[in-house]
């Protein structure tokens, strides 16, 4: 049986299907990995309950683990405690910013424009291109950008 | 039929029917940002439906799935509030319906997070984060449009007058509610009315809208006794594929 630490390393390389610069472990949605009677159990929690990426993520995790030679895999879904953006790894916040997505802030809005760094920003819409994002705009460089909502 | 099964249908049918109604706006909203917001709201509601109807199917234990419950039941088997099956109307009616539902939904979920049933509590903990966001948006739009131009104010008042008689049904209690309240699984809906009124009045005041005086409430949705004619038409659209090609997958 593969050591659990090795499995976590493999999962670190499975990208989020909608924001491929961060991995499923960066996102904090893999809650547990364990062997049970020769089957590898991966426990995953959804970001938003209706997020269409959830089933793709389960499939991508399974595919990656099979490619590494694990053939008995079960993906379990866990709802509670509910996912929160507090579970994003610190490194993931920097990767989001470099990718052009402002990382979540407890204050409820982005700290600065991910393009030019200006703090002079305004909200366009509470929702965006995926359930986890909202649309904002920079008043200085005038570029629109995605903000990763804080929940 | 067990009380818990009935309760899960009531929760899941509300989010399913409203989720479908809201999704009818996809591609038709007044501005792009609202189109995206409506589609995302619908997506959250359909996700919550999967959880509630999934639990309903588990509780029932007859081998039916959440999809079977959504696509293969008839109008009289649905347990949603009459409010959520009302047609979209204009954008003002859609947002007023969303606001009244969100205010009810939030109060319901606030108590369900402490449910004696861990499965119910887990769904509520997940859903309340999304619904808090929905309520924030719908309140903001009700205030913005109510306290907006003469035209938007008039439309929001008309929407409130139209929908207010559908707001009371969510606070009626029957034997199912009393059984679940006794077991600590779900609240007695009658006990949630005061907090709902306070929540709604605070927003309507800022929106410069007047609450109709009548407390008359249409009923019959959450018991399935008497749905409005609109539900059947909606289901005809929503279910046509599974009804015409049973078991179709892709
Ligand atoms: Zn900028």
- Same domain membership, residue A94 and residue A130: yes
B118 to chain A: closest CA residue: A80
Contact assignment for A48 to B130 by CB distance below 8 Å: yes
Domain B3-214+222-244: give its CATH architecture.
Up-down Bundle (1.20)
Return the structure tokens found at B143: 């205030």
Q: What is the pTM of this model?
A: 0.95
Residues in chain B, total: 250
Contact assignment for B51 to A135 by CB distance below 8 Å: no
Strand partners, A125: A135
- With a pLDDT cut of 90, the percent of chain B lying above it is 96
- Same domain membership, residue A59 and residue A9: yes
Task: Tell me which residue in B45, B46, B133 faces A126 most closely, judged by beta carbons.
Answer: B133
Contact assignment for B133 to A151 by CB distance below 8 Å: yes
Residue with tokens 């606030």: B110
- Same domain membership, residue A76 and residue A61: yes
- Same domain membership, residue A101 and residue A75: no
Q: What is the pLDDT of residues A92-138, one digit of tens each?
A: 999 999 999 999 998 889 999 999 999 999 999 989 888 899 999 99
- Same domain membership, residue A144 and residue A73: no
Domain final residue pick, A37, A58, A83 = A83
- Contact, A121 vs A109, CB < 8 A? yes
- The phi, psi pair for A139, rounded to 5°, reads -80, -15
For chain B, the domains span 3-214+222-244
- Same domain membership, residue A49 and residue A104: no
Number of domains in chain A: 2
Burial B58-78 (b: 16+ CB within 10 A, else e): ebbeeeeebeebbbebebeeb
Neighbours of B214 (CB within 10 A): 10
The range of the structural domain enclosing residue A128 comes to: 90-148
Coil, strand or helix: which one is A55?
helix
Instruction: Round to whole Å and give the CA distance between A89 and A28.
Output: 7
For chain B, percent helix, then strand, then coil, each to nearest 5?
70, 0, 30
- Same domain membership, residue A79 and residue A10: yes
Burial of A143 (0-12, 13-18, 19+ CB in 10 A): middle
Q: What is the pLDDT of residues A31-84, one digit of tens each?
A: 999 999 999 999 999 999 988 888 999 999 999 999 999 999 999 999 999 999
- Same domain membership, residue A24 and residue A53: yes
Instruction: Round to whole Å and give the CA distance between B242 and B239.
Output: 6
Judged by CB atoms within 8 Å, which residues 89-148 of A form the interface with B? Answer: 124-129, 131, 135
- pLDDT confidence of residue B215: 85
Contacts of B51 in chain A (CB under 8 A): 49, 79
Task: Tell me which residue in A46, A50, A80 faces B121 most closely, judged by beta carbons.
Answer: A80
Whether A88 has a pLDDT exceeding 90, the answer reads yes
Neighbours of B43 (CB within 10 A): 22
């Amino acid at each position: 049986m593969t050591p659990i630490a090795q499995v976590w390393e493999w999962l670190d390389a499975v990208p989020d299907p909608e924001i491929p610069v961060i991995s499923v472990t960066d996102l904090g949605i893999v809650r547990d990995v364990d062997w049970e009677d020769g089957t590898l159990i991966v426990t995953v929690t959804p970001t938003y309950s209706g997020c269409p990426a959830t089933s793709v993520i389960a499939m991508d995790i399974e595919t990656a683990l099979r490619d590494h030679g694990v053939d008995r895999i079960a993906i379990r879904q866990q709802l509670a405690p509910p996912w929160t953006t507090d579970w994003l790894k610190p490194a993931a916040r920097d990767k989001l910013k470099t990718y052009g997505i402002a990382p979540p802030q407890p204050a409820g809005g982005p700290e600065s424009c991910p393009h030019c760094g200006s703090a002079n920003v305004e909200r366009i819409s509470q929702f965006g291109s995926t359930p986890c994002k909202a649309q904002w705009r920079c008043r200085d460089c005038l570029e629109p950008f995605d903000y990763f909502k804080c929940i | 039929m067990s009380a818990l099964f009935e309760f899960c249908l009531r929760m899941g049918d509300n989010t399913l029917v409203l989720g479908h109604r809201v999704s009818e706006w996809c591609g038709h909203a007044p501005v792009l940002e609202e189109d995206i917001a409506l589609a995302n709201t619908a997506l959250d509601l359909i996700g919550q439906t999967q959880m509630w109807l999934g639990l309903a199917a588990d509780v029932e234990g007859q081998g039916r799935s959440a999809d079977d419950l959504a696509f293969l039941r008839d109008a009289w088997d649905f347990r949603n509030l009459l409010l959520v099956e009302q047609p979209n109307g204009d954008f003002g009616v859609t947002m007023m319906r969303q606001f009244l539902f969100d205010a009810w939904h939030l109060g319901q979920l606030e108590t369900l997070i402490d449910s004696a049933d861990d499965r119910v509590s887990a769904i509520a903990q997940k859903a309340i984060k999304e619904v808090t966001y929905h309520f924030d948006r719908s309140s903001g739009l009700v205030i913005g449009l109510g306290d907006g131009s003469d035209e938007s104010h008039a439309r929001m008042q008309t929407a409130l007058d139209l929908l207010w008689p559908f707001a009371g049904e969510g606070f009626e209690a029957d034997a199912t509610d009393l059984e679940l309240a006794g077991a600590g699984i779900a609240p007695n809906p009658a006990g949630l009315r005061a907090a709902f009124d306070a929540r709604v009045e605070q927003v309507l005041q800022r929106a410069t809208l007047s609450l109709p005086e009548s407390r008359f409430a249409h009923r019959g949705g959450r018991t399935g006794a008497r749905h409005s004619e609109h539900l059947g038409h909606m289901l005809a659209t929503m279910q046509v594929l599974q009804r015409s090609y049973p078991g179709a997958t892709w």
